[in-house]
Structure 1
């Protein structure tokens, strides 16, 4: 394997959370007087940290979201996660193989540490990720598409950016990986390849990932 570290996005790559969280986000924004469809939410916010929602709403409407927006949104998401969340198909088997082969990997997510923990606990992925291999946009000043989060993860894992490969399913994540000087593979199960422009390769089934990484 030519890469020394695999950096996974979390939402939509490891856990099947994008449909749940974007449905909830679209509903909550609409409830607050900012009409947003599920498709709008995927287009504008998928892969980004929650501050992106605040920034875009303020830019577009001149109105700020309520101070408790993050708390209410996260509680709704966590409730849905605890009830419905599943791992992305093929992920447990893929992680099992990587662990057995001793391949270094970590997760770098726009979500909060709590969101990552809740999702991994519900899906059973916590067995493959210790605290020292989980990185959140909370850890850096700027989330994706800035490269900060991926560079932070690489530094903490002791690997130079050019020896890392990122696995992403959002345009913002692909942009962040490229800005960090890393290779990136686009997961197209939810996002068409043409929206992940610049990726080094594409796949739509986790069984295909190990072949790309080899």
Structure 2
């Protein structure tokens, strides 16, 4: 087993199976407004991005649909409507099976642990607490809200490493998104792709490998094997 001083976990799609929640409803919402995106296409285009970048790219795509730039009212209605479609199903959210056990395995291997997520801090804290993960991470639950740029920029991973007191080169990142893997590599860290979330359609792992994930793990059981000395 490789030796790491710290393991940084993305939240959505790695610890909590939230990326799939409301996904079909979001696809339906966009189709009603002229988009032709499938649920899989939504995941490929937007997963892992902070809200500001997600909104910017969604609005750019809307311009292609309309044949003109949407005005601010149209842009805001599109973004907020899509977010509302996802949140309407939040009661169905579950932890990814084995997530807590993977965090415990990292701790047992003498690694420091943190969450480094694109999710807004309030929502991130809610998810970590809801699924009983807060005692494992303590204060080390970090949202890209607190850095200047979201993934695929490396800022949130570098921030987490600094707060843990670890060298970025000795950190392992567990990520389900292309943008998260790119951010980890930009931070000088090793990244393992994770495809145990319900949103990981066919070819998802190949896309993670293509941008530089060292390997792709299909489940937390596989991750725990990697973390066990």
TM-score interval for Structure 1 and Structure 2 normalised by the shorter chain: 0.7 to 0.9
Moved more, 111-120 or 15-24: 15-24
Does the CA-based 8 Å contact 2:7-2:106 persist in structure 1? no
Q: In the alignment, which of 111, 115, 118 is matched to residue 123 of structure 2?
A: 115
TM-score (norm 2): 0.81
- Structure 2: which 5+ residue stretches go unaligned? 64-68
- Residue 114 of structure 2 aligns to a residue whose secondary structure is strand
TM-score relative to the length of structure 1 = 0.86
User: Offset of 1:21 from its aligned partner?
Assistant: 4.8
State whether structure 2 residue 207 is matched by structure 1 residue 195: yes
Match of 1:80 in 2: 89
Which residue of 2 is the match for residue 171 of structure 1?
178
Residue number in structure 2 paired with 1:42: 43
The 2-side partners of 1:124 and 1:32 are apart by 38
Contact 1:22 1:46 in 2 (8 A): no
Query: Aligned in 2, Cα 1:71/1:55: closer, same or farther, shift over 3 Å?
Result: closer
C-alpha contact 2:101 2:224 (8 A) present in aligned 1: no
Q: CA RMSD in A?
A: 2.4
SS at 2:150's partner residue? coil
- Residue 153 of structure 2 corresponds to residue 146 of structure 1: yes
Q: Deviations over 1:120-140 (max 9, x none)?
A: 23322233232x211111011
CA shift at 1:50, angstroms?
A: 1.7
Task: Return the match for 1:91 from 96, 99, 106.
Answer: 99
SS at match of 1:186: strand
Match of 2:104, SS? Answer: helix
Decide which structure has the larger Cα Rg and report it: 2
